[in-house]
Amino acid sequence: MNTQPTFSERWSPVLTVRGLSVDYEADRPVHAVREVDLALGRGEILGLAGESGCGKSTLAYAVNRLLRPPAHVVGGEVVFHHADGAETDVFALDGEQLRRFRWNRLAMVFQGAMNALNPVLTVRAQLEDVIRAHEPATDRRERGRRCAELLELVGVDPRRLDSYPHELSGGMRQRVMIAMALVLRPDVLFMDEPTTALDVVVQREILAEITRLRAELGFAVVFITHDMSLLLEISDRIAIMYAGRVVEEGGTERLRRTPLHPYTLGLLRSFPSLTGDPTGLHGIPGRTPDLAESLDRCAFAERCPYRREVCDGEQPPLVAHPDSPAGADGRAACHAHDPSRYGTAPPESLLRGEFRPIEESEVIR
C-alpha cells in the first residue's frame, strides 16, 4: 500500500510533455512514441509502465534530448517548469545551454546501470568528472568532499570512493549510479529499469533508498519498468503505455482498484499477488501491433476481450471519464467507457475487473 503523501493539494508541474512523437527512420518509419501528453508534478514519483517496445525508454530518451539517429522527434514539445515559475522549452535548447540544463535539471539512471560505470576508473574519478564538467570552478578539496557526501547520501561507505566498479556488488554499483545522477541535485530523475538486474532483497533496498532520497531532496522521479508490482508500491501516479501511446494514467491506488483500460487490467492480472487467491491468472495472448503502421484504431483491439466495431474504426482519445468508477482521477483511452461511441454502458465484467483472454492458443498469422 502507498504510504507516501498525496500531492493533489499542492501539485504543481515540473515537466510537461505535449503531443510528443518520436520516429525511428527506416524504409517504413517506426512510430515508437505517438502524441504523448504527460505531466510530472514537483516531487512526484510517476511510474511509466509497459512491455518491451511500447516506447517507454524512447520517451525518456527524447525528453532528456538523448535520442540518436535513426531516432528523432517528429512533433510535440517538452516544457520544464522552474521553481520560480519560469519555463524552459527543452527542445529549443542547444549547445552550451543544453549542456548546462541536462544533468542539472534532468538526470537519468540508465537501464543496465550496473554495467554503465567505466570499469577502468575509480568511483571517485567518475563522480569528480561530473562536477569538473558542470562546475569547473570547484576546487579539488571541495570536489572530494562532495563525492564523499554523495556516497554517504546513497548509503555507500565513502571509503569506497577509491574502489573500481568490479570491486563493488551490484547493489552498490546501482547506488553509485544514483549518486552520479544526483551530483548536481536535479529536479527530475529518470530511472530506466533501475532494479531489473538486481536480486529481490537488493531491489527492495534500492527502492527504499529512492523514496527516502526523494523525501529528503524533493526531486521528482519518472520510474520506468515493466514490473507493475514494483510500480504499485513506489509510485504516486502511474502511466501505462501501449504501442507508443499512453493508454491510461492516474493515481496509483485508483489504478490498482479500478483500472479503466482493459490493457491496464490485463497487465495488473499478469502479476499474481504473493499472498492472494491464485484463481483466474491469465496473460494477454497475442502480440503488439506493427509500429510502422499508422493505427487509426485502438492499438489494443486485437488482444482485447471487450472489443467492438468502433474499436477497429477509431482511435480512442486519452480523456477523463468522470462517470466511470475512476471519477475525476486520471484519463484512459478506451471506447468502452464512452457509451456514445461504444453503444452501451461499459460491460459489468470490465468494471468488475475481469480479464478473460479471447484466445487460449497462440495463433500464428
Write out the residues near other proteins by the rule CB under 8 A. 1, 3, 51-52, 199-201, 203-205, 207-208, 211, 226-230, 232-234, 256, 266-267, 269-276, 278, 281-285, 287, 357, 360-365
Q: Which residue, 151 or 228, is less far from other proteins as judged by CB?
A: 228
Residue 151 in contact with residue 161, Cβ under 8 Å? Answer: yes
CB of 37 to other proteins, least distance (A): 24
* CB of 152 vs other proteins, minimal distance in Å: 16
Q: Which regions of 53-195 does DSSP assign to beta strands (E)?
A: 71-81, 87-89, 106-109, 188-192
CA distances from 238 to 150, 323, 360 (A): 29, 20, 29
Closest CA to 260 of 359, 355, 358: 355
Task: Report d(CA 286, CA 288) in Å as an integer.
Answer: 7
Using the structure block, give the residue that is written with the C-alpha cell 503488439.
288
Beta carbon of residue 340, minimum distance to other proteins (angstroms, whole number): 30
Tell me whether the omega of the peptide bond preceding residue 346 falls within 30 degrees of 0, making it cis: no
Query: CB count, 10 Å around CB of 336?
Result: 28
Minimum Å distance from CB 1 to other proteins?
6
* 39 vs 210 by CB, closer to other proteins: 210
- Residue nearer to other proteins on the CB measure, 103 or 355: 355
Cα angle 230-232-233, degrees, rounded to a multiple of 5: 70
Which cell numbers in the block locate residue 216? 529528503
Identity of the residue, 146 or 282, whose beta carbon is nearer to other proteins in the bound complex: 282
329 DSSP assignment: S
CB of 155 to other proteins, least distance (A): 10
Nearer to other proteins, 6 or 16 (CB): 6
Distance in angstroms (rounded) separating the CA atoms of residues 172 and 363: 44
CB of 226 to other proteins, least distance (A): 5
Cβ-based nearer residue to other proteins, 198 or 222: 198
